[in-house]
Amino acid sequence: MSSPGVLSVLTPLVISHLTGVALYTLPIQFQEIAVEHFPVSETEAVVLTAIAVYTAGLALPHNTHRLLTGRGTEHGWKVLKLVAVLYLAVLLGCTALINFSLGFILALTLVPVAAFVTPDVPKALSAFILVILSPACTLLFSVFFFQELQEMPVSFLDGWMLFLSVISQGILDHALYGSLVYPLVALLVYPCWLLFWNILFWK
């Protein structure tokens, strides 16, 4: 592959991981700023900042390769998908060794994404499916599913509040007890998912 071709693959790879680093670091760093400028508590500030960074990440990586090489090449997205699939395989294997349940849930949602995503599939429908199978939506659905298993179904609003509390608890557990779930999702799972998002919008 030529040098521009290498850069067109490396650029989304690097930027996806930089977005993951932002998701990992900014919620805590911007906590005080958010509290000063918005009528929210510190916990809400952390969670809302995390959601904002997560959502912003959807707009950042998927066209970055065009900044260097113009229109994405057929060879380029295939190489990127190969890298993303290998990355996903290693990620799921390592996650399953640490937390089998988490690895299983991630496999259930990310493997279908890896299987079907290409730049040639219908964009709108595929983007909707990718968002539904993204880590954040997977967590949201898991909250509702858990409540159903507990035979304590909740409304969407209550489920949303539980979803926010789960995010804040994950960040807090990492800060206080060194839990690896939040950094795993922010630094590895989310960037991996962004690679497939990038492939969808390659052309």
- CA distance to 181, 183, 191, per residue, from 62 (Å): 25, 22, 12
- Residues in CB range of 4: below 8 A, 6 or more apart: 68, 69
SS3 of residue 47 by DSSP? helix
* Assigned token pair, 73: 């090449």
Is the torsion defined by CA of 184, 95, 15, 167 positive or negative?
negative
- Is 81 exposed, middle or buried, given 0-12, 13-18 or 19+ CB atoms closer than 10 A? buried
Q: Which of 22, 30, 79, 31 is nearest to 53 (CA)?
A: 22
CA atoms of 116 and 125, how far apart (whole Å): 12
For residue 151, the 8-state DSSP code is T
Tally of CB atoms within 10 A around 121:
13
What integer pLDDT is reported at residue 73 of this predicted model? 64
- Is 53 exposed, middle or buried, given 0-12, 13-18 or 19+ CB atoms closer than 10 A? buried
Contact 64, 53 (CB under 8 A): no
Q: Letter for the amino acid at 145?
A: F
CA atoms of 16 and 24, how far apart (whole Å): 13
- Condensed to tens digits (0 to 9), the pLDDT of residues 78-87 reads 888 999 999 9
- CA distance to 18, 52, 70, 183, per residue, from 61 (Å): 10, 15, 15, 20
Q: Letter for the amino acid at 27?
A: P
pLDDT per residue rounded down to tens, the chain (203 residues): 555 567 777 888 888 999 999 999 988 887 777 777 777 777 778 888 888 889 888 886 555 655 555 555 677 788 889 999 999 999 999 999 988 999 999 999 999 999 889 888 888 899 999 999 999 999 999 999 999 988 888 888 898 989 989 998 999 899 888 889 999 999 999 999 999 998 888 87
CA atoms of 96 and 175, how far apart (whole Å): 23
